[in-house]
Structure 1
Amino acid sequence: MARQRYPTLLGALLSLLGVSGVHGAPKPRQSNEGIDPKLLSGPEDVAEEYDYIVVGGGTAGLTVADRLSEDGDHTVLVIELGAYDNSSSVTTIAGGAGGLSNRTHLFSFPSSPQEGLNNRTTAVIGGVMLGGSSGVNGLQVHRGHKDDYNRWGAFFSDESEWSWDGLLPYFKKAWNFHPPNEDTAEALGIKYDASYWGDTSGVHASFPTFNWPGLKIEIEAFGDIEGVELPEDSGEGSPGVYWYPTSADPVTATRSMSRNGHFDGIDRDNYKVLSEHRVLRVLFDEEDMASGVAYVPRGAVDDSEVRSVKARKEVIIAAGTIHTPQILQGSGIGAADLLEAAGIEVVVDLPGVGWNLQDHPLGGGASFELTDFPVSPQPSDLQSNASFREAAQQEFKESRSGPLTIASGNAACFLPLAVIAPSTFESIASRYESQDPAAYLPADSPPTIVAGYAAQQKAMAAAMRSRGTAHYNLFLRGGGTEGAIVYLHPVSRGTVRLDPSDPYFSEPEVDYRALSNPADLEVEVEFVKFTRRYFTETRMADYGAVEARPGGAVRTDEEMAAYARANVSPSTFHPVGTAAMLPRELGGVVDEGLRVYGVKRLSVVDASVMPDLPGAYTQHTTFAIAEKAADLIKARA
């Protein structure tokens, strides 16, 4: 039954975003010959050693590889599990999350049953392709808020450069920003401030040439709620309601991602990629210095085809939040008891590896249909109205303009708990703050994990009270049905652990432990109440708002909590935290230089280093981390 449930949750998300169901079977291996000279045809073309080996050619991996090789002085090899694919299924932006519908570009396997979600399982999903999850995501480009990034550095010191000010130059460097066209901006009241953005990156952030007119009404309705701010730009680091760009090239109206920003069109002999190969483990010399990696073809089921390649300077793990801890654990870095159970020699007893898993839960709150929304056309017309769809396709073909330039959306609210729950946020924060830090962690949590959570607990209780930290995200599309709600700062923590019976060739065991902390359930109840306020107590009530879910029969806190347990998905495919940048005594895995504790010449550069979630989706922040990491690595070369 578990293996039949998780595609349904994925299908529900894709339906919500206007995308048809998952399709396609995994493709046979394609020859890389003739595609790009940087793309090696096979392991026979891999040199004996490189200066840097990057494990994972995704959002962060290709960014780092590009930056480390750009001076021409150092050789870089990227080893990526997925394939290079430049087909329209990758480059299209229409629908936004359409990249998730092609499972040849995904890993997807069931999580552990979620006790807090009535023992449901869910799909653990991410990108498997050159470009990683930046090639399959919803293309939304927004960063978190000042509080989020200042909190990260504060776990080390008040002088840490992991802060809003320390990351802002890299947020700018990561994207080439293109303002909306003047007509669209004027018609819809799109606000932006280009000073928060850069214009040199090969990864583009732009606005569609068309937006559904209903978006203006939806945004203006938030002005009816006390405490809601309307920042000038999504990049200024303040919660509120704002427009934000899409990761799309405005000239070609195609997806912009790490592959076409940090790989395509780069003519460099010192930058190579081996695709469709899996790194099993990092190799070490007698001084616990990373000396290379062992790898096999993607389809291997044992180590009979294992090969190795050496790194002169550094091995950089950029395999993502789910697979980075598996590689570290398989390399002998992790909790000693887990490694011993798997028969793996312990290199470093580092319990934090694979702990601290967080993701953005989706599906709380409430959804409404606007039966009298006087704005036409609506997003659903692209699916249900054949003549409208045909006209939109023709417009896109002729001028790269019109409704098909819209991805997942370009407007949303990111609101503090104090705004959505003004009468209860303090009591929720106080109850959470008074918890025993170990009370809702796994029973076998090591002391450093408990100590780290105690530090996070203090910080997250402050975040619950802060008007500078967003907890509630309502996704706006300007159509007749709205209600995609994301929880930005859950306080439950999960785990990713290799399978002791097959540590290298089976997927890891992923337990989100969603809603395991009762504070999260309290917040989800407030989401339902606030969403109802928005649709029924603002000007949105003028448009015939009818509650679709959970429905009028669900009224008490207990009923709303039961609804959340039955309907929330633990993941919006934004996992972070499993190789956390925290002090080692707080369960950290990497230091402020992103170097793995206890060994030399080994770093982690991907979303797994985020100690907690930003109040935004993770693409933008991951790019910025990679840009900053490249400078850190260069400085110690």
Structure 2
Amino acid sequence: MHLQLGIVLAGGIGVVALAHPHLGAATVVSRQTDATYDYIVIGGGTAGLTIADRLTEDPNTSVLVLEYGPLSNSTSITTVSGGVGGMTDPSLQFSITSVPQTNLRNRTSPVSIAKVVGGGSAINAMMTIRGTAEDYDRWASFFPAGKSSWTWKGLLPYFKRAVNFVAPDAGVARAANITYDQSFWGNTSGVYASWPTFQYPATTVLMDAFRGMEGVQFPGDSGAGRTGVFWYPQFADPKTVTRSYARTGHYDGKNRANYQLLPGSKVTRILFEGTRAVGVAYQAVPAGRNVPAGNGTVQEIIVRAKKEVILSAGAIHSPQILQLSGIGPKKALDAANITTLVELPGVGQNFQDHNVLSAAFSFRNLTLHPSTEDLFNNITFLTWAATLWSANKTGPYSLATGNAAAWLPFPVISPRHAELASLLTAQNHTASLPDDVHPTVAAGYAAQMSSLASAMQNNNTAFYNLVMSGGTSSGMLIDLHPLSRGTVTLDLRDPAGREPRVDYRVLSNPLDRLVMAEILRYTRRYHFDNPLTKNWGAVEYTPGSDVNTDEEFAAYLVDAVSPSYYHPVGTCAMMPRELGGVVDEELRVYGTAGLRVVDASVIPTIPGANTCQTVYAIGEKAADLIRSG
């Protein structure tokens, strides 16, 4: 169902919030333009809905959430099996393509950004994973020593508040050897981290095979902040066995008069009095259509914020909205004919995502049944699975994309870790950035590279990810800490009317090629030089036995790397202003008042994990910061 909101009426703006099956009684609100709220949240995604829910727990606090996308009941969102139905539904995503990637034969890449209430949590793979403790301690390291609360210790209470952990079925846990530690989890959130009622036997076998690899740890819980091989839960409601996401946890059923959500709202700019944010201009988006920002044929609607505007539009659109509002690199704003309100060179810089390496390995002699392949080609197993699901929502269809993975540090995967760390330390870091990079952005990048060089020499940061999902083949390897940095900038052909220019700048740091080569070499060793897999008949289809040297791997990567694992972060980084930061430790935008950014864009260095749980924790912590003033 779509809500048509912001209808232009004679004498003003009428807004009707229609009833929804999850909401109870309908709420009807009539108002004129210049309606005023305590807080306006731009973006009804993972962080935005978290903040709105927490702030409106106080009945005297009013919040308006403006979300571009619809309030959708699509089964591509709710269906658990497969876990990624939303990613294949174009109606739930913006249509954005990256600029040609110079180091990938000028290939472009789709930029998968959710366009729906619930944001990325509505369309992601439902993998409930945190980074390591060092990932979050790294954020604090960019600020004066001992002063920052953005550490593992400081964030753990918010990780626990963000999700409601439900233990796996005891029989399934015994059979699959699933371990967990509830001390790392909470039980008060409306967002659930639960487990399927079935696991493929190959998952356990492939996990245990890592015991044949030197140095690999097996933490007892995925939330412990450690590297290694472990099980992790999925974002699913254990009662309904449907996706649990920001909408179901932080909007459905709240039914608060002080909590207003306007889907179909395209924010065009933030309004200021001096440098204080006082409101937002937006346009109504007719159901099923796209309305470009600043489209002169569509009337702007003005709403006011008494206390704060909170920008939660994500790593692609938050920097765009800041730039359209006059906050960003002055040179870029001048080129777009936008008057600079606050010069912040870091807006739209520091863009990061996990890189995906395509490879194909298989164990021919590992014939464990059932496997994921049986769900597609074994009619007996398929019928059994469908019967279980129809009867009580149990069995293989309760499993999303997999619940086990290896998250390994660089010294474990590479005997060259010290050599590559030294190369990174000695590198001219500015040479890996755009030619016109601002000195503060370059200084921030150098600080990040120094931290990652140290991480390459210890076992506390994961650089390698292999997901095990119940089959005997693997074809997707994840580089968890790419060294290259991209940009998100206004499209000068029509800054207000077009989507921003997204440039991953993949492989712009040449050392990324060497790191990825080591990731591929380690995967070979796991398959071929592992005493626990030696009789399984390993086969490598790609890159193939003729690819061995650094140069040969580099040539292979040109066609085998995807810039995105759908985890864009970093474009409004939480770092000191002198390091190219956009927000401070209170998430306030430098040089402004009454304006914060709260979403994945504030992440200064990407954690070695899927980002959804981290963004929930950021939203929970931000709510406390906002309430405390």
- Shorter-chain TM-score: which interval? over 0.9
Structure 2 residue identity aligned to 1:95: G
Cα shift readout 1:203-227 (whole Å, capped 9, x = no counterpart): 0001110011011111111111111
Q: Secondary structure at the match of 1:523?
A: helix
Q: Are the equivalent residues in 1 in contact too, given 2:33–2:301 (CA < 8 A)?
A: no
- 1:33 and 2:18 matched: yes
The question of 1:55 aligning with 2:42 is answered yes
Partner of 2:235: 247
**1:126 matched residue in structure 2:** 113
Selected match of 2:521 from 507, 521, 529: 529
Q: Which moves more between the two structures, 60-69 or 89-98?
A: 89-98
Match of 2:213 among 212, 216, 225: 225
Tell me whether 1:202 sits opposite 2:185 in the alignment. Answer: no
Alignment partner of 2:270 out of 282, 303, 306: 282
Whether 1:615 and 2:603 are equivalent positions in the alignment is no
Length-normalised TM-score, structure 1: 0.93
Q: Whole-Å Cα distance in 1 between the matches of residues 320 and 379 of structure 2?
A: 46
Would the alpha carbon gap of residues 577 and 338 (structure 1) be closer, same or farther in structure 2, given more than 3 Å must change? same
- Whether the 8 Å CA contact 1:40–1:275 is kept in 2: the answer is no
Query: Is the Cα contact below 8 Å between 2:573 and 2:604 reproduced in 1?
Result: yes
- Structure 1 Cα separation of the partners of residues 157 and 64 of structure 2: 27
Q: Which amino acid aligns with 1:34?
A: A
SS at match of 2:307: strand
CA distance in 1, matches of 2:604, 2:430: 18
Counterpart in the other structure of 1:267:
255
> Equivalent residue of 2:432, what SS?
coil
Q: Is contact 1:27-1:104 (8 Å) kept?
A: no
Shift of the 117–593 alpha-carbon distance from structure 1 to 2, 3 Å rule, reads: same
1:418 is aligned to 411
Q: How far apart, in 1, do the equivalents of 2:167 and 2:476 lie? A: 26
Query: CA offsets per residue over residues 212-261 of structure 1, 9 Å max, x none?
Result: 10111111111111110000111110100000000001111100000000
Question: In the alignment, residue 324 of structure 2 is paired with which amino acid?
Answer: G
Deviations 1:162-207 (A, max 9, x none): 0000000000000000111111111111110000000000000011
> In structure 1, what is the Cα distance between the partners aligned to 2:456 and 2:154?
24
Give the C-alpha shift of residue 367 in structure 1: 2.3
Deviation at 1:158? 2.3
Equivalent residues in 2 for 1:79-158 (5 A)? 79-158=66-145
* 1:509 aligned onto 2:501: yes
Alignment gaps of 5+ in structure 2: 6-15
Question: Could you say if the C-alpha distance between residues 39 and 617 of structure 1 is closer, same or farther in structure 2, counting changes exceeding 3 Å?
Answer: farther
**Structure 1, unpaired ranges of 5+:** 1-25
Could you say which residue in structure 1 is the equivalent of 2:53? 66
Q: Does 1:403 align with 2:396?
A: yes
Pair 403,29 (structure 1): closer, same or farther in 2 beyond 3 Å: farther
Residues 360-415 of structure 1: per-residue CA shift (max 9 Å, x gap): 00125x32122222211111222333443333122112111000111111000000
1:471 is aligned to 463
Q: In the alignment, which residue of structure 1 is the partner of 2:351? A: 357
Partner of 1:542: helix, strand, or coil?
coil
- List per-residue Cα deviations over 1:570-619 (Å, max 9, x = no partner): 00010110000000000000000000000100000000000000011100
Pick aligned residue for 1:493 from 485, 488, 500:
485
Instruction: Number of aligned residue pairs: give it.
Output: 608
Measured in 1, the distance between the counterparts of 2:552 and 2:198 equals 40
Q: 1:388 aligns with which of 364, 381, 389?
A: 381
TM-superposed deviation, 1:511: 0.4
Q: Distance in 1 between matches of 2:118 and 2:264?
A: 13
What do the CA deviations read for 1:77-132 (whole angstroms, capped 9, x no partner)? Answer: 00000000123221111001122111111113210111122211100111110000
Is 2:33–2:302's contact at 8 Å kept on the other side of the alignment?
Answer: no
Shift of 1:542: 2.1
**CA deviation map 1:17-52 (0-9, x unaligned):** xxxxxxxxx999699622247997899687711000
* Larger displacement relative to structure 2 (552-561 or 622-631): 552-561
Distance 1:55 1:27 in 2: 18
Give the Cα separation in 2 of the matches to 1:420 and 1:582. 30
Q: 2:34·2:302 contact (CA, 8 Å) conserved in 1?
A: no
- Matched to 2:468, the amino acid is L
CA–CA separation in structure 2 for the residues paired with 1:87 and 1:442: 41
Q: CA deviation at 1:460?
A: 1.1
**Does the alignment pair 1:519 with 2:477?**
no
- Cα distance in 2 for partners of 1:46, 1:33 equals 19
Q: 2:316 and 2:173 mapped to 1: Cα distance?
A: 39
Residue 550 of structure 1 and its aligned partner are, at CA, apart by: 1.2
Q: Is the alpha carbon distance of 1:168 and 1:38 closer, same or farther for their aligned partners in structure 2, counting shifts above 3 Å?
A: farther
Q: Give, in angstroms, the shift of residue 62 of structure 1.
A: 0.2
Identify the range of structure 1 (379-388 vs 612-621) with the bigger mean alpha-carbon deviation. 379-388
Tell me the distance in 1 between the aligned counterparts of 2:277 and 2:36: 13
Is residue 216 from structure 1 mapped to residue 210 from structure 2 by the alignment? no
- Aligned partners of 1:275 and 1:40: how far apart in 2? 14
Q: Kindly tell me: are residues 43 and 143 of structure 1, through their superposed partners in 2, closer, same or farther at Cα, counting changes over 3 Å?
A: farther
Normalising to structure 2: TM-score of the pair? 0.94
Residue identity opposite 1:337 in structure 2: K
Q: Would you say the 8 A contact 1:474–1:483 is kept in 2?
A: no
Deviation at residue 441 of structure 1 after TM alignment: 0.5
For 1:334-359, what per-residue CA distance to the aligned partner results, in whole angstroms no more than 9, with x for missing partners? 00111111111111010100000000
Residue type at the aligned position of 1:152: W
> Percent identity between the aligned chains?
49
Match of 1:77 in 2: 64
Q: Which one of 319, 328, 332 corresponds to residue 325 of structure 1?
A: 319
Partner of 1:571: 564
Partner letter of residue 74 of structure 1?
Answer: T
* Counterpart contact for 1:40–1:46, Cα < 8 Å: no
Residue 549 of structure 1: how far off its partner (Å): 1.4
1:452 aligned to 2:460? no
- For 2:387, the aligned partner's letter is Q
* Number of the residue aligned with 1:369: 362
Q: Is the 8 A contact 1:42 1:274 kept in 2?
A: no
Change in 2 beyond 3 A, CA 1:399/1:528: same
Q: 1:340 aligns with which of 334, 341, 348?
A: 334
- State the secondary structure of the residue aligned to 1:229: coil
Tell me which residue corresponds to 2:371: 378
